[in-house]
Structure 1
Amino acid sequence: MTYTPDAIRAITLSTLRLPLSVPISDAKVFTGRQKPMTEVVFLIAEIETEQGFSGHGFSYSKRGGGPAQYAHAKEVAGAAIGEDPNDIQKLYSKLLWAGASVGRSGVATQALAAIDIALYDLKAKRAGLPLSKLLGSHRDSVRTYNTSGGFLNASLDEVKARATQSLEEGIGGIKVKVGLPDSSEDLRRVRAVREHIGDAPLMVDANQQWDRATALRMGRRFEELELVWIEEPLDAYDAEGHADLARALDTPIATGEMLASVAEHERLIEARACDIIQPDAPRVGGITQFLRLMTFADQAGLDLAPHFAMEIHLHLAACYPREPWVEHFDWLDPLFEERLETRDGRMIVPNRPGLGITFTDQARAWTTEKVTITA
């Protein structure tokens, strides 16, 4: 049996605004750097081919940048029309050069991520395989931890109740946000959660809001709580500071979610700035770039815990040679017909073709702009 070349017939781009049920606050709100988050803006790419195959992917932005992603994608997507959808790396390069004047990170590549992810979804569906199996997985389930229940806008009682619920639902670990102006309150909350959940895996996340001295002091205070990791203790681009902290503390350091290119992560890796790297496929440019980054991280002996977008990252984490973590968020539930299963502390990789997700009617109703690009 020989392969008959296919061609991309149309790319439909849309943007939607997902409202959050309550305004969300992390340490960046308490330091005055950001306002509470009330919505997440998504860029959706849906690709159709001449032979009738289709795939969809998404990128996203929190607080700012969503309209810019949509505008850039509209400008460059036409470069993929008529091309073979199976040539994903070639297409990524072509789209990158179509918008080269605005660079190779940030909005420029986040706009491409939705298209790149859609191409992988399409290719896996064509093969009749879950994306993880197309890429070559190491496991059929991944350790998982909950983040959406541990934000600073929630009272301690609410955090503990959500932690109980998460563990009862088969989620393995609990992450709690820290970085309040009053460090003693951080310690009180985290100690209370540790006592509440016993020896279940526990992580904390400062969202870049400590300076070097505070991070070291807090890291030492947290040592007794046997945390799985301390996340983003310093500014995301302070590779040297993270490296010093990683050497000074027994608790592993995790960071990387805010970086917007493979090159930025390479600097982190070369500096030995973390024990656990946390890339985000939509932020670094899609699956093509994420796979490059996984190779670098594995070569450096790092653990992996991708940020957000579990519907994408579950498949990618399943392909990492070392045992990874995947972050459980329930915010995106209204967007998809399917639910990811959690059991015994792990998230089960779905056996549906591609990413295994279908957008809901509600997602369509939240769409604010849409365009279809053809020849």
Structure 2
Amino acid sequence: MTRIDAVQIRQVNLQPKVKRTDAIQAFVVQETVLVTVRCDDGSCGTGYTYTIGTGGSSVVALLRDHLAPQLIGRDPATFEAIWRDLLFHTHATAVGAITSLALAAIDTALWDRNTRVAGVPLWVAAGGAKPATRTYSTEGGWLHLSGRELIDQTLQAQADGFRGAKLKVGRPHVSEDVRRLEAVRDAVGDDFELMVDANQGFTLSEAIRRAHAFEPFRLAWLEEPLPAESIDAHRRLNLATSVPVAIGESLYHPGQFGEYMKADACSIVQADVARIGGITPWLKVAHVAEALNLDICPHFLMELHVSLCAAVPNATWVEYIPQLDSLTHSRVRIDEGYAYAPNEPGIGIDWDWDAIRAAQHVEHAVNAADALA
């Protein structure tokens, strides 16, 4: 039986490609944490996770001090058992963002190793539902942009072949959001999809008010209108508007998605593979959503989500927001508004190790001797 005999942990900090602001925050830096598992048969796999400015060192410490030592001697093929054992090993800190982010780096590394050994791409190993998924752009909709800039950048996304674009909402008064949306809708026409994202910035009363004001613009969804812990408020909003309510980037366990879906508190689920703890729990959420006839449209990490969306039948959109280009040789292939899953074995990311070594912030290695210490 194959055993894991070493784990390598790296952190690389990446600057956003453009200024990114929303209703409550700015995207400061992507703290990208990479985990490589190495096995006694010579096989290996690399996974990753991220933050948008805080917590990267905490993820690294949790991996180095508590999770990576638990991997030594384990069979990498038993990824379900490993995920569950690691979750319970950190029971006192779960469910929470830091723990889930750390679990994701390990889980994606295991999937990368296992699919490489099997000689199949991730999207096929995880289900193989379809090779391509519609894609929309988020790189032109930031809240600080002027109305003119918002129109120009959305028109550029349309000209570039994207099937839709996401715009941030949450300006101080509803009339400002309405003016911006109206101008963009008039510019792009009726056939181009528009999504909006409030980044948890509204109270229930304000969310209902703005959702009603947004209805004439025929939006694909209203994303994160309320704080993620407010399930009943989301349920009341979901029942009060014709705009589909999308949630999920700020949820950290499949059970949290289950509570939302059970409560009829959303129409679209947006599980983030890093924030939910990896590919293993992401697929569980996708399949529950499918059983309930709900779409899954994941948040961020397009380089990994392009394969997961291809794996399941109910994934309808990939979010285009590039961030890994400086660390990889590979690029997401987009043709006529569809993102195509890579066909190479593994998770589909060809890492540029020279660039990673040049840019890395920290590096740690855990092996059998460390695990026994």
* TM-score, normalising length: structure 1: 0.93
Amino acid at match of 2:358: A
Equivalent runs, 1:82-93 vs 2, <5 Å: 82-93=73-84
Distance 1:317 1:250 in 2: 25
Distance 2:58 2:315 in 1: 36
Shift of residue 21, structure 1, vs aligned partner: 4.2
Aligned to 2:371: none
After superposition, the C-alpha distances for 1:131-155 in whole angstroms (9 at most, x for unaligned) are 0111112100011111122111223
1:216 aligns with 2:212: no
Amino acid at match of 1:282: A
Aligned to 2:162: 171
Calculate the aligned-residue CA RMSD, in Å: 1.5
Unaligned runs of 5+ in 2: 369-373
After superposition, the C-alpha distances for 1:146-192 in whole angstroms (9 at most, x for unaligned) are 11221112233333333233233332110000011122111111111
Aligned to 1:7: 3
Equivalent runs, 1:55-74 vs 2, <5 Å: 55-74=45-64
1:25 aligns with 2:17: no
**Aligned equivalent of 1:205, options 184, 197, 222:** 197
1:49 aligns with 2:39: yes
Aligned to 2:365: 372
Distance 2:57 2:120 in 1: 33
| Alpha carbons 1:77, 1:95 under 8 Å: kept | no
Aligned to 2:317: 325
The residue matched to 2:128 in structure 1 has which SS? coil
Equivalent runs, 1:145-164 vs 2, <5 Å: 145-164=136-155
Shift of residue 323, structure 1, vs aligned partner: 4.6
Aligned to 1:193: 184
Among the aligned pairs, what percent are the same residue?
35
After superposition, the C-alpha distances for 1:14-59 in whole angstroms (9 at most, x for unaligned) are 1111112444210104xxxxxx332111111111111121211111
The residue matched to 1:282 in structure 2 has which SS? coil
Aligned to 1:143: 134
Distance 2:158 2:324 in 1: 19
Aligned to 1:130: 121
* TM-score, normalising length: structure 2: 0.94
After superposition, the C-alpha distances for 1:265-289 in whole angstroms (9 at most, x for unaligned) are 1111111111001111111111111
Distance 1:338 1:182 in 2: 42
Change (3 A) 1:23 1:106: same
Amino acid at match of 2:100: T
| Alpha carbons 1:59, 1:110 under 8 Å: kept | yes
Distance 1:195 1:232 in 2: 25
After superposition, the C-alpha distances for 1:81-118 in whole angstroms (9 at most, x for unaligned) are 12111110111122223323322332122111101001
After superposition, the C-alpha distances for 1:281-338 in whole angstroms (9 at most, x for unaligned) are 1111111111221222222221110111111111111122325211110233222211
Corresponding residue pairs, total: 365
| Alpha carbons 2:18, 2:139 under 8 Å: kept | no
Shift of residue 248, structure 1, vs aligned partner: 1.6
Aligned to 1:308: 300
Distance 2:229 2:86 in 1: 27
